Amino acid sequence: MNTITIECLRYHPESDAEPRFQSWPVPFTDDMSVLQGLQYIKDHLDGSLTFRWSCRMAICGSCGFVLNGVPKLGCETFLRDYYPGTLRVEPLSHFPIVRDLAIDQSDFLKKLESVKPYLINPDVPKKGTFIQTPGQMDEYYQYSKCINCLLCYAACPQYGLNSAFTGPAALALLHRYNADSRDAGKAERMPVVNAEDGVWGCTLVGYCSEVCPKGVDPARAVNQNKIESTKDYFFRFFRK
Amino acid sequence: MQVVQADVVVVGAGGAGLRAALAAAARDSRLRVALVSKVLPMRSHTVAAEGGAAGVTRGEDSLEHHFNDTVSGGDWLCDQDVVDYFVRHCTEELEQLERWGCPWSRKPDGNVNTRFFGGMTIQRTWFAADRSGFHMLHTLFQTSLKVPSIQRYDEFFCAELLVEDGRVRGVVAIEIATGEIFLFQCSSVVVATGGAGRVFRQNTNAGTVTGDGMGLAFRAGAPLRDMEFVQWHPTCLPGTGILMTEACRGEGAILVNKDGYRYLQDYGLGPLDPWPRAKAMELGPRDRLSQAFWHEQRKGRTLDTPQGPAVHLDLRHLGAKKIHERLPLITEAAQTFAGVDAVKEPIPVCPAVHYTMGGIFTNVRCETPIAGLYAAGECASVGIHGANRLGSNSLVEIVVFGKVAGDSAAQFALSNPSSQRGLRAEAVEQRLTSLLRNDKGERLAVLRDEMRDTMEDNVGIYRDEPGLRAACAKLATLRERYRRGVKLDDRSRAFNTEWLTAIELGFTLEVAEAMAHGALARRESRGAHMRIDFEARDDDAFLKHTLARHAGDAAPRIEHQPVTITKSPPRVRHYGGEGKQAVLT
């Protein structure tokens, strides 16, 4: 069994003026994840280290951290890949820190709500289901796989500069509903798309899609909506 | 202490809690519905459910089949009046989810597709690839955002139910970010906090699945029912317990031992051919498959892996296309967590604790014996799972009975408005904060690990009297040590997860004790409860539910309660045997 040094950002709102770093030596086996390393610290070395986690199988989206500068899920990243170096664990960038590695997620929740992420359709069947072919599902399905882990917000330079930007995951979800054949709510969502902080806030860096642990492509969703936004603008112009 | 006035409080925002909140709000939009959860809704453990949800849809299927599969799957310990209600409402709830946007996988004609699960006569599992729980949860959460009367309290940890004069009056919770104590005054409460798999060492469950709601209700005086029935899922990654969905087998995967032999044929699930066929071999129920593994291990026919004994789950013959289309999540998980490419190699798997069949005793309206207190989902025992839950019945249970619980709680609130009486919440606050002041005591992880080892070693797939007695004694000692004090490194209030873990451990120890004492009292083998010293099912003595009643610091009092049998008298459970080949779609 080898031992790796894990260095974590610490910040306590009741006692720290600013964040600091603390390191621990952590013995590990080849199958141990970064999350298990943090759990080892909490169980045996310092019970005050604070972080979120839950499913430990990359589906609940709780354990996003910045690991040696890169946003990743702690549960599906392994200590062996950082050995013999030091692993530095920081909270996700661009969000206020509540404590240690736990960030304040409330801004994202507001944005999620702002894109109206639910079916809007006056003609929902009273009984049974909609008919939707596998081809129609393909139009939106990849965007429905977002686990809201917020790695893409930590990766997004625009969100870092201007937190009013709706951001990758929320815009991907907006597109997920707009592209769903069962939905008729596009017009209600266009104001979010067209706003200065909507799709036009994106400068096409594409790092959001690169860090996504689920293979969702938020950059593509955003840019498809730039086309939609342009069409929307012209159609409104012509209708006048 | 901050005070929040609500009409209905829903504790837990997974599938059952969200469905309950939606139903309560739909009953009357003037009701103030507080949805209180220790995690954000989309972090709830519903998110990890993979395979799918059962609902009769195919022409050749019937409610009768779903009823019979469920009752025999549960080894006749199901309340048949409740199963009857359940099977009649499954499909409409799955359709409701579809109309809310759930991306169920489709047939080429645009209708919803179904797949096989173990113990099923006909294909009836609705699925969304192998992310069924994930999509159900996100659909319910996102749909809840359009309902203004649902007020969410995300990351609030519920620590106590206030029951006065036989009626629930409120909930005391900790706002995690600040550590402040909140009192929710209300008319009714729905507990929807999920299961308690973290009582055991090797389990498929998220870290949050610590039996909090069971503990809350148990302490408040509601009995826990059938707690000895714990389901081991037969196909999980050794070590972590990460789940490889039953849908693998539903799509045609096979299980082989170290010699490449399909060993299930030796355990009453054969013959091999024709394959695949319903309710045979790999499409047998979970209890039988996990028990077969135990025997294979004893015979020395399992593989040795660094993480423990295993058998092989082989998907290779399904082909890359079908594997990636139907089982993408577990394919990724097998690669990431076991380093196995499921298209090219078999996956090493073993049983791990997956589900608690028992829970807070409720009737078909989700009412507990405490007025105003309701429960739904895995934390509840409404009576449909009996001694062994069928795969696909729990994902649909959370919507069928989540809805019932929310609706019942709303109706109760409408006819019994909350009184503005002073509640004795200060004592609760004192007790909670005193945990932060212990200067001596043991580390949490020590007590937690001893509990898990005890449960794993002595309350496992096969049990006997000496082991169970040892477990009961050990759990009593652990509770005593817990009462004497745990010493926390963290004495502060803001986002103190060590403090929350200490409170959770208090619940978990009591839930574990209910399991061990229930298992000791049940001197027969039925479903998932196997006694080496009482190998047969004993309907004369034990065709009845176990009720565990909280007895303060002492061990729970165990009582029994009749099972409701309406139309299916107990028979021998029958799997394997003759049958025609099934066509998997």
The Cα B405–Cα B407 span in angstroms is: 5
| pLDDT at residue B202, rounded to an integer | 96
Fold classification of A2-103 (topology level): Ubiquitin-like (UB roll) (3.10.20)
Tens of pLDDT, residue by residue over B490-536, are 999 999 999 999 999 999 999 999 999 999 999 999 999 999 999 99
Among the partner residues B47, B99, B145, nearest to A59 by beta-carbon distance: B47
Closest CA to B24 of B134, B193, B222, B189: B189
- Write out chain A residues lying below 8 Å of B151, CB-based: none
Is residue B497 less than 8 Å (CB to CB) from chain A? yes
- Rounded to a whole number of angstroms, the distance from the CA of B148 to the nearest CA of chain A is 12
The Cα B391–Cα B125 span in angstroms is: 9
- Write out chain B residues lying below 8 Å of A104, CB-based: 177
Q: Is the separation of the CB atoms in B173 and B36 below 8 Å?
A: yes
Backbone angles phi, psi at A130, to 5 degrees: -70, 160
Nearest CA in chain B to A113: B145
Helix spans in B302-372 (H):
320-326, 328-338
- Rounded to a whole number of angstroms, the distance from the CA of B12 to the nearest CA of chain A is 14
Range 205-244 of B in CB contact (< 8 A) with A = 206-208, 239-240, 242-243
Among the partner residues B332, B337, B490, nearest to A47 by beta-carbon distance: B490
Task: State whether the Cα torsion A90-A92-A97-A103 is positive or negative.
Answer: negative
Give a three-class secondary structure readout of A112-169. Answer: HHHCCCCCCCCCCCCCCCCCCCHHHHHCCHHHHHCCCCCHHHHHCHHHHHCCCCCCHH
Q: Is the separation of the CB atoms in B9 and B186 below 8 Å?
A: yes
Q: Which two tokens stand for residue B76?
A: 């006749």
* DSSP tag of A91: P
Q: In chain A, what is the straight-line distance between the N-terminal and C-terminal CA atoms, in Å?
A: 72
- Rounded to a whole number of angstroms, the distance from the CA of B555 to the nearest CA of chain A is 28
Q: What is the pTM of this model?
A: 0.98
| pLDDT at residue A229, rounded to an integer | 87
Task: State whether the Cα torsion B423-B426-B431-B435 is positive or negative.
Answer: positive
The Cα B476–Cα B456 span in angstroms is: 16
Element (H, E) at B359: strand B359-361
What average pLDDT does the segment A106-114 reach? 98
Task: Flag if B42 and A147 touch (Cβ within 8 Å).
Answer: yes
Indicate which of A16, A32, A50, A60 best probes the interface with B, i.e. most B CBs within 10 Å of its own CB: A60
Q: What share of chain B is helix, strand, coil (3-state, %, to 5)?
A: 35, 20, 40
CA angle at residue B106 from B103 to B111, to 5 degrees?
Answer: 105
Identified catalytic residue from B45, B138, B198, B249: B249
* DSSP tag of B436: G
Is residue A142 less than 8 Å (CB to CB) from chain B? no
Longest dimension (CA), chain B: 69
Closest CA to B256 of B285, B278, B238, B282: B282
Judged by DSSP in three states, B124 sits in coil
Range 258-277 of B in CB contact (< 8 A) with A = none
Fold classification of B232-354 (topology level): Flavocytochrome C3; Chain A, domain 1 (3.90.700)
| pLDDT at residue B420, rounded to an integer | 67
Longest dimension (CA), chain A: 72
Backbone angles phi, psi at B434, to 5 degrees: -65, -25
| pLDDT at residue B470, rounded to an integer | 98
Tens of pLDDT, residue by residue over A45-104, are 999 999 999 999 999 999 999 999 999 999 999 999 999 999 999 999 999 999 999 999
Counting every residue, how long is chain B? 585
The Cα B323–Cα B345 span in angstroms is: 12
Tens of pLDDT, residue by residue over B387-430, are 999 999 999 999 999 999 999 999 999 999 887 677 789 999 99
Task: Flag if A42 and B498 touch (Cβ within 8 Å).
Answer: yes
Domain ranges of chain A: 2-103, 106-239
Among the partner residues B131, B134, B145, nearest to A117 by beta-carbon distance: B145
- Rounded to a whole number of angstroms, the distance from the CA of B178 to the nearest CA of chain A is 9
pLDDT band at A237 (very low <50, low <70, confident <90, very high): low
Q: Which two tokens stand for residue B64?
A: 């009768």
Q: With left for phi above 0 and alpha for psi between -120 and 50, is residue A116 left, alpha or beta?
A: left
Is residue B495 less than 8 Å (CB to CB) from chain A? yes
| pLDDT at residue A227, rounded to an integer | 87
Nearest CA in chain A to B148: A113
- Write out chain B residues lying below 8 Å of A122, CB-based: none
Q: Is the pLDDT of residue A240 over 70?
A: no
Is residue A195 less than 8 Å (CB to CB) from chain B? no
Task: Flag if A131 and B99 touch (Cβ within 8 Å).
Answer: no
| pLDDT at residue A40, rounded to an integer | 98
Spell out the residues 6+ positions from residue B348 whose beta carbon is closer than 8 angstroms to its own: B237, B238, B303, B305, B310, B311, B312, B313, B338, B340
- Rounded to a whole number of angstroms, the distance from the CA of B311 to the nearest CA of chain A is 19
Is residue B484 less than 8 Å (CB to CB) from chain A? no
| pLDDT at residue B180, rounded to an integer | 97
- Rounded to a whole number of angstroms, the distance from the CA of B213 to the nearest CA of chain A is 17
Task: Flag if B48 and A57 touch (Cβ within 8 Å).
Answer: yes
CATH of domain A106-239: 1.10.1060.10
Task: Flag if A60 and B42 touch (Cβ within 8 Å).
Answer: yes
The Cα B530–Cα B470 span in angstroms is: 17
The answer to whether B385 is a known catalytic residue is: no
What average pLDDT does the segment A127-155 reach? 98
- Write out chain A residues lying below 8 Å of B143, CB-based: 118-119
Is residue B430 less than 8 Å (CB to CB) from chain A? no
Task: Flag if A119 and B206 touch (Cβ within 8 Å).
Answer: no
- Write out chain A residues lying below 8 Å of B43, CB-based: 52, 54-55, 60-62
| pLDDT at residue B238, rounded to an integer | 97
Backbone angles phi, psi at B574, to 5 degrees: -125, 120
Task: State whether the Cα torsion B560-B566-B570-B573 is positive or negative.
Answer: negative
User: Consecutive 10-residue runs of chain B (585 residues): their mean pLDDT?
Assistant: 96 98 98 98 98 97 98 98 98 98 98 96 97 98 98 98 94 98 97 98 98 98 98 97 97 98 97 95 97 98 97 98 97 97 98 98 98 98 98 98 98 90 86 94 97 98 98 98 96 97 98 98 98 98 98 98 98 93 89
- Write out chain A residues lying below 8 Å of B112, CB-based: 129
- Write out chain B residues lying below 8 Å of A11, CB-based: none
The Cα B44–Cα B50 span in angstroms is: 14
Element (H, E) at B113: none
Q: Is the separation of the CB atoms in B331 and B131 below 8 Å?
A: no
Determine how many CB atoms are found less than 10 A away from the CB of residue A15: 8
Q: Is the separation of the CB atoms in B418 and B186 below 8 Å?
A: yes
Among the partner residues A13, A62, A141, nearest to B103 by beta-carbon distance: A141
Judged by DSSP in three states, B213 sits in helix
The answer to whether B249 is a known catalytic residue is: yes
Task: Flag if B206 and A54 touch (Cβ within 8 Å).
Answer: yes
Range 69-98 of A in CB contact (< 8 A) with B = 76, 98
- Rounded to a whole number of angstroms, the distance from the CA of A239 to the nearest CA of chain B is 31
Distances (CA, A) of B61 to B70, B91, B122, B123: 14, 12, 6, 8
| pLDDT at residue A79, rounded to an integer | 98
Closest CA to B221 of B174, B163, B151, B299: B163
Task: Flag if B177 and A98 touch (Cβ within 8 Å).
Answer: yes
| pLDDT at residue A239, rounded to an integer | 62
Backbone angles phi, psi at A137, to 5 degrees: -65, -40
Domain ranges of chain B: 1-229+357-577, 232-354
Choosing among 3.40.30.10, 2.102.10.10, 3.50.50.60, 3.90.380.10, the CATH entry for B1-229+357-577 is 3.50.50.60
Is residue A58 less than 8 Å (CB to CB) from chain B? yes
| pLDDT at residue B459, rounded to an integer | 98
What average pLDDT does the segment A127-139 reach? 97
Mean pLDDT for chain A overall: 95
- Write out chain A residues lying below 8 Å of B98, CB-based: 129-130
Among the partner residues A58, A132, A183, nearest to B106 by beta-carbon distance: A132
| pLDDT at residue B139, rounded to an integer | 98
Task: Flag if A55 and B45 touch (Cβ within 8 Å).
Answer: yes
Q: Is the separation of the CB atoms in B13 and B35 below 8 Å?
A: yes
Is residue B329 less than 8 Å (CB to CB) from chain A? yes
Is residue A223 less than 8 Å (CB to CB) from chain B? no
Identified catalytic residue from B135, B169, B233, B354: B233
The Cα A167–Cα B213 span in angstroms is: 36
Is residue B45 less than 8 Å (CB to CB) from chain A? yes
Task: Flag if A14 and B497 touch (Cβ within 8 Å).
Answer: no
- Rounded to a whole number of angstroms, the distance from the CA of B520 to the nearest CA of chain A is 31
CATH topology identical between A2-103 and A106-239: no
